[in-house]
Amino acid sequence: MTKIMLGRRRFTAAATAGAASLAMPALAPSAFAQGEPIKVGAIFPLSGPAGPNGQAVVSAIKIAAEMINAKGGVLGRKLVVVAKDDESTPAVGVTRANEMVAEKVSVVIEGWNSPVTLAEQPVLARANILDITAVSKADPILSGQGNPFAIRLNSSNGQDGAVIADILINKLNAKRIGFLSQNDAYGNGAQAVIEAELNKLGKPVDRTEWGMTPQTYNAYYNGSNNEIVLPAAAFAIPGLLDADADDALVYGYAGASTIGHELTHGFDDEGSQYDAHGNLHEWWSKADRQRFNQRVNGIVKQFNGYTLLDSLHINGKATAGENIADLGGIVIGLDAFKKTKQYKEGKKINGLTPTQRYFLGYALGWQMHVRDESLASQLLTDVHSPAQFRVNGPMADVPAFYQAFGIKPGQKLYRPDSTRVVIW
């Protein structure tokens, strides 16, 4: 099944600017959005021996809220601090946590991981309330603890308020769901999505449902549904009108890197294990599977050999499925392009042959800049090869690429015939 999504709309919100510098919209307090404010709970001992420490932290939290409100709040909503005295006993702490739930707070800042806060945390978690720990530097419980999410405070001065403000902005903007008023369109939409997901429990799978929006610049293969989904955005070439794109460019940009790529996923090292009904079931003969695995080993070896950042290597095994799909997409897209009038006429455009433009069209979608740190992380965590090798890697296995650009032995992208991978 193939789904091409063109008309359905679903709105998402862009991430708010980084919080380290409190880079929020410069809204006046009168410009706050209509609806309930965002409530920030504070559960600390406000009386007894530990009272001074708790009062100092609550004072810093109030300073933080004032700083944030002066900058326009969070998503245009005002922050209001709700403080509770937990009296330093687990039973009272649980009661205070339940009070926070009843008052519909969005985030709770509480004391260090003592028996009190450990009792409070499950209550807050069940209500999907953000939980942040904070402690005065003078608090003896701090000794020997290593919670990386804690706010370490010295006093109730403005400096501590700035620390809390940064953390609150980060946490609230990261969550975005659960602290918006019922009058807020995005909040309503987000809540509706959550409820729709919960409503699926215990019911048959809806095989017509989309996993992406039409505006999403991506595509996917779903083995369980035996389908590929192609959002409309994947076919838009940035900066170029559809009417200005020749067939060669389109067949490379969309036909190979998107349509052919996702089709091939159905027959890569993972997708090939799903049958026509989307069940994980071996439907190949043992001999076919063995020959296929031998070919996969070839592409694993090829990508293991690529070096980045002086000494790091692509994980050929982890990226095998995507590399197979890239190679298959190029081959499928080229076979389709050969049926077009442009290919058959062979006329050059801007000095380039149709086949050259096809390969450049594929490469067009992988132009990007990546920081070295991000690239190093990708090599360890991503099942996709870095962009340049999603172009140079599979193209080096395609004979038509050598013919189109006259690649000769000794040139950087040349691979001997015996090492070129052929899977499909």
**pLDDT at residue 7 in the model:** 34
**pLDDT at residue 166 in the model:** 74
Low-confidence stretches of the chain (pLDDT beneath 50): 4-34, 136-150, 154-157, 176-184, 186
In the chain the domains, ranked by start, together with CATH numbers, are: 29-175 (3.40.50.2300), 237-419 (3.40.390.10)
197 tagged catalytic: no
Residue 321 and residue 267 in contact, taking contact as beta carbons nearer than 8 Å: no
66 tagged catalytic: no
For residue 109, the cross-strand partners are 42, 132
What pLDDT, in 10s, does the model give residues 23-58?
A: 333 333 334 444 578 889 988 888 887 777 778 778
**pLDDT at residue 194 in the model:** 64
What pLDDT, in 10s, does the model give residues 210-268?
A: 888 899 989 999 998 889 999 999 999 988 888 899 999 999 999 999 999 999 999 99
Residue of 86, 87, 268, 326 marked active site = 326
**pLDDT at residue 140 in the model:** 43
Residue of 87, 262, 268, 322 marked active site = 262
| Amino acid sitting at position 109 | I
Residues 6+ apart with CB under 8 A from 22: 67, 68, 71, 162, 165, 166, 169
pTM value > 0.85:
no
Best CA proximity match to 186, nearest among 64, 321, 35:
35
Residue whose tokens read 């944030």: 68
**pLDDT at residue 401 in the model:** 98
CB atoms within 10 A of CB 186: 14
